[in-house]
Each structure stands twice: as C-alpha cells, then as structure tokens.
Amino acid sequence: MSLPISSMLQLQSAAQAEKGKDQKYFLPVIFHNGSRYDNHFLIKHFAKQYVQKTNARGTKTTYDDVKIIPLNAERFLQIQIGNIKFLDSLQFLSASLENLVSLLLKSGKENFHNTIRYMGDNDLVFAKGVYPYAYMMDRSKLGEPASTHPGLL
C-alpha cells in the first residue's frame, strides 16, 4: 500500500495532536536509490501547506519541520518532514534490489515470512518483474485487467 505524501503528513499531524508534540519518534520511509530517483518526485509534489507555520501575529511563515541532508545540489541523503524520514537504502546496501533479494533467497524462502504470508509462495513473487512501460501510457490502463494485453501475462 502506498500513501501520497499529503496523506502521510495528515496522519502524522493527527498522531502528534493525539500524543503530544514532545514525542521523539520517526517513521522511516525507505526508497532504494531514492537519492537519484524517488526523492525528485517527493520534492516535486511536496505540499508546503502541511508543514507551514505562521507566528502568532500572522506576519512570518516558516517551514521548520523540513530538514534536508544534501549530497550535492541534485541529490539528497535524507529528507525529513516532521517525523517522517525519507531514506535511501542504496547508501547502506550498495547493490541492486535484484542482487539483494537473490542473496537472501540463497538462505531459503522460509526466511521471507511476511512475503509468503501476504503474497504466497509462488516463484513469481520472488522474481524480478518486467514493467510494460510501452503499454502503460496513461492512467486509464491501470484499471484494465492484465488479461486484456497478451504482453502483460
């Protein structure tokens, strides 16, 4: 399940209101190779309204809840918005996801408890998939069953 950033920030705001602002917790959101790819979407679609703070007189607006650790002008090691930290796992695991999963699979599928529980024990679950970029040209294709296009089977 994937939530838009606005939904995550609304959930965070509700949790802070319920527990109080002095809580020292954070929610890690991990992207593999996020500093080169996913973080650009995060920044592009970031909605300032969820972290905007105005002083009591209404004269100054700040965004104190946003913290960024840059690698350079285009890449970010970490982005933190409130208590949500967006991390890049490639910084810690410098291999492709395909290689990392294949290394784990050498020890046996039984180590993938949650994957098997929620997605089954089929070999396709543990294999790298092919995304049909040429076919998926607009959102209307997302509602179609896979059986309508022979290249998707």
* Structure-block tokens of residue 153: 């089977």
For residue 1, the model assigns a pLDDT of 45
Partners of 70 in beta bridges: 76
User: Distance from first CA to last CA of the chain, Å, rounded?
Assistant: 23
115, HSE (Cβ side, Cα atoms, 13 Å): 15
For residue 92, the model assigns a pLDDT of 84
For residue 152, the model assigns a pLDDT of 52
* Structure-block tokens of residue 66: 């946003």
Q: Domain boundaries in the chain?
A: 5-91, 97-142
Question: How far, in Å, CA of 30 to CA of 47, rounded?
Answer: 20
Of all residues in the chain, the percent with pLDDT exceeding 90 is: 1
Question: Given a cut of 60, is residue 2 above it in pLDDT?
Answer: no
* Structure-block tokens of residue 80: 């933190």
3-class secondary-structure state, position 95: coil
**What pLDDT band is residue 24 in, cutting at 50, 70 and 90?**
confident
Asked whether the whole model's pTM tops 0.85, one would answer: no
The backbone region for 108, taken as left when phi is positive above 0, alpha when psi lies in -120 to 50, beta otherwise, is left
